[in-house]
Structure 1
Amino acid sequence: MPTNANAPEPTIDPAGMETSFGYKSVARGHKQARVDDVFHKVARRYDLMNDVMSAGLHRLWKDAMISMLAPPRSRPYRVLDAAGGTGDIAFRIANRAGSSAHITVCDINSSMLAVGADRAAKQQLADQVEFVEGNAEQLPFADNCFDAYTIAFGIRNVPRLAQAVQEAHRVLKRGGRFLCLEFSKVDIPVMDRIYEAYSFNAIPLMGELVTNDRDSYQYLVESIRKFPNQARFEQIIADQGFSRVTHRNLTGGVAAIHSGWKL
């Protein structure tokens, strides 16, 4: 596996994500298999449930991330979309950048990748978007080979956050950009309590009705609450070598886009 000698050593995850499966604690090394099982179960209706859970807002949030990325149309541009198995982000980048962009989707879950590959074929994007099975904590790519790294609603499911961010730094070219869209901490009084009640009461019920799988969506809601808030995640990104680290709240902090540059 290629390594970057200048990259900092990964730190122990300060949020304890490596041993948390939602609100349950699991032995170190056991979380990934539990997460994989969740996404094997929900893969075919994953994008439908995103629409249902967010009332379609996830589409606007993803479009906002692509606007921040601003992929060029006039030169070759290589993007790695991590944990993006169904291709939702990759297709948006391809449509925005045109044929100049090549997007590699890397996901650890074969069921999610199968959905994405089917969608790419139907949208005639199979030549522009490739799907690779791989772990965000140990990416199967050489150092300094991508212009941008994106990840949307996936990093909170990675057991070792710092390791995943360090790997993003490794595979990016100098001047490359890291963009992460993730659920975050609502920072508007009253709205935070409404969102909390909605998340824990409505979303698992929707999962049961739409996918016949309440437990998976209970985990997903709990995983959002366990994820570091905006400031703590910014620090993790900066600790792994990224510069000019910022975040932009969306819908009062329901989600946030985190940005960093490899300079």
Structure 2
Amino acid sequence: MGTEELNRIMDAAIDAAFREDMPSGDITSESVIPAGSRSEAYFLAKEDGVLAGLPVARRVFEKLDPSIIFIERFREGSAFHQSDKLARVKGPTIALLKGERTALNFLQRLCGIATATRRYVEAVAGTKTRILDTRKTTPGLRLLEKYAVSTAGGTNHRSSLSEMVLIKDNHLRRVGSVSEAVRRARAAVRPGIRIEVEAANLLQVREALAAGADMIMLDNMTVEMMRQAVALAAGRVPLEASGNMTLDRVRAVAETGVDFISVGALTHSAKAIDISLDFVS
């Protein structure tokens, strides 16, 4: 993701957060803090994690007051530990207080996703398998959450329904067969659009291969069934394992030889990392 695109995505999300949090300003800070007051604060980690989201936190304060100084102490994607100071921010006190919660909400959420992603990436280290995210994201924050996944070493799956074809069980129930679904999709979409098929059993894997699918999702299969699917595909198309992919079993799944493992929990269940903004002046 380029800087320009990231800024556009950040601005949209931050503007929405400001409308939610300050529809009529910050009546507390504006009432009790002198207008000329200046302060300095640190983003303090309360637990270990992987960093993602400092550019978003920086942008929150830039939009509130361009004079605010924001100094990052850690790089995106790096591991940090409890009591580490992740960044320093200095400027008008009222602006810092206005941005505190919005910046922390983004930072804690994105660090949580990055931390969860890194655990899965490390669990399959040494295999060829890559960890994929899904569309199970927070409405309005999908691209930022996928940014956190990629920052921690994960790989982004499709970002929207418009990006690629993914024929799933509900499509197949209506269409009737894998081959017919692939045929219809191939006839309808422009050249270059990938077509992936969800397969619940080895018969559907064979049908997807015969139909010319570009990728096959192995849905809720046993480890042994996935191993057989890898043998059937014989490297002709990438295989994605999906369904109940916990840390406890992800290594065994990777060792079957699948190319990807998609993990919805990276974004729908990641625990936010505890981070505070501590004022020192």
Tell me the TM-score normalized by structure 2: 0.27
Tell me the TM-score normalized by structure 1: 0.29
Q: Which has the larger radius of gyration?
A: 2
